[in-house]
Structure 1
Amino acid sequence: MEQVRALAPLDDPLSSLPFVHETLSTLRGEIGGSGAALLGFVGTPWTLAAYSVEGRAERNCRRTKTMMYGSPQVLHALLDHLTEALIVYVGYQIEAGAQVVQLFDSWAHHLTPEQSAEFSMPYAERIIAAVRAKYPHVPLIFHANGGAGKHAQLAACSADVIGLDWECTMAGARQAMGAGRTLQGNVDPMVLFGPEAAIREAVTRCLVEAGPHHHILNVGHGVIEGTPEESVGLFCELARQSADILAAHGRAQQQPQPVAA
């Protein structure tokens, strides 16, 4: 607890993180009036706490979950500190030019639904509420890696968009969260290492299951290092063609099926 209390607050991000402002403001200038949007992103308090405590990617999140069970008050204090810092940091990114901000809970898969409800979602909601109060015009996305068993929590999240990983079906997520909820995802990023036909099939399935409204086509997490650039290009082009893909699928479904002799 003494170490948590000794952590410095993020009072002046322009001084401590000047490269973030430079990068975002430069990109915003380059985008100009192209119609593209500049996205900022941050880790959630839980994910940053786990990275901090473990010091590396650790498959069982052993030290952090040992703290969770043995000294939950210390973990809550760390999460509280990170939450306050992230409220400042998200605002800093918006002031630098970010037009949308995504909160990544990349280590949510380490949490049971009950643990998520205590150690992740309330802190993310604090960030969302504080940022929305100051910047109501900026959409906020919440993405939980490993969110398949937490759809009820995600449905209750107040973010404008819910990002989904590839461990659930888009149809199941749509059913759980409703037709009016904007969902993002959730194509397996590893399909981009496959042939063009596999990419087209995965994209079509995702689009059809999500429905024609309130969906942002995306992969279910980050693009993996080494992914062929031409595959990323194809995926982006298919995203631009999403309305045509859905229309073509609908026409194909209406075609009369041949009757077996």
Structure 2
Amino acid sequence: MTVEVSLQPWRAFKPDGVILFSDILTPLAGMNIPFDILTGKGPVIDNPIRTLEQVKQITKLQAEESCPFVGESLRILRQEVGNQSTVLGFVGAPFTLATYVIEGGSSKSFAHTKRMAFAQPEVLHALLDKLADNVADYVRYQADAGAQARPRSTHA
């Protein structure tokens, strides 16, 4: 389904790029951060990360094991479009991912994230360090699978 949804705009309009249809939270499960997507609510992280002990429980992402479908989708997209278009991977920026895991889902006020930034900056820094390392690994994984560029998601 990921491949089909990614290819629909390309087939219809032949843009310069085909972007992988993927959720920014996809790699979280592979970092020992389980989440669910609830109808009408969106992503929910049952155990938001708010302590250094929780940050230490985040594991190194092994994308080829935890989300092999991403690599397979990129390989198929690369084959489908050949040299007619650029294949774009997709990753969430570390800070974007951090807000989800700190807040326990999406947020309008980011109260927990702001509180952590001022009251526990060492926890936020440790979390961002781990997420940045894992996001970098995820970018490399996508590039190895055929992505030629990776737009990143950021908060507006």
Residue aligning to 1:99: 148
Letter in 2 for 1:70: A
SS of the residue aligned with 1:101? coil
Residue aligning to 2:68: 18
Deviations 1:132-169 (A, max 9, x none): xxxxxxxxxxxxx2xxxxxxxxxxxxxxxxxxxxxxxx
Normalization by structure 1: what TM-score? 0.39
1:12-161 equivalence runs, <5 A: 12-34=62-84, 36-105=85-154, 107=155, 145=156
Given the alignment of the two structures, is residue 5 of structure 1 paired with residue 53 of structure 2, yes or no? no
SS of the residue aligned with 1:79? helix
SS of the residue aligned with 1:58? coil
Q: Distance in 2 between matches of 1:65 and 1:33?
A: 45
Runs of 4+ in 1 over 3 A off after TM superposition: none
Q: Distance in 2 between matches of 1:63 and 1:6?
A: 19
Runs of 5+ in structure 1 lacking a partner? 108-144, 146-261
Residue aligning to 1:158: none
Query: How far 1:103 moved relative to its partner?
Result: 1.8
Letter in 2 for 1:78: L
Deviations 1:196-237 (A, max 9, x none): xxxxxxxxxxxxxxxxxxxxxxxxxxxxxxxxxxxxxxxxxx
Query: How far 1:33 moved relative to its partner?
Result: 2.9
Deviations 1:14-62 (A, max 9, x none): 011101011111111100132x111112111111000111122111011
Q: Distance in 2 between matches of 1:82 and 1:42?
A: 11
SS of the residue aligned with 2:139? helix
Q: Distance in 2 between matches of 1:57 and 1:101?
A: 23
Residue aligning to 2:20: none
SS of the residue aligned with 1:100? coil
- What number of residue pairs does the alignment pair up? 105
Cα RMSD between the aligned structures? 0.9
1:154-233 equivalence runs, <5 A: none
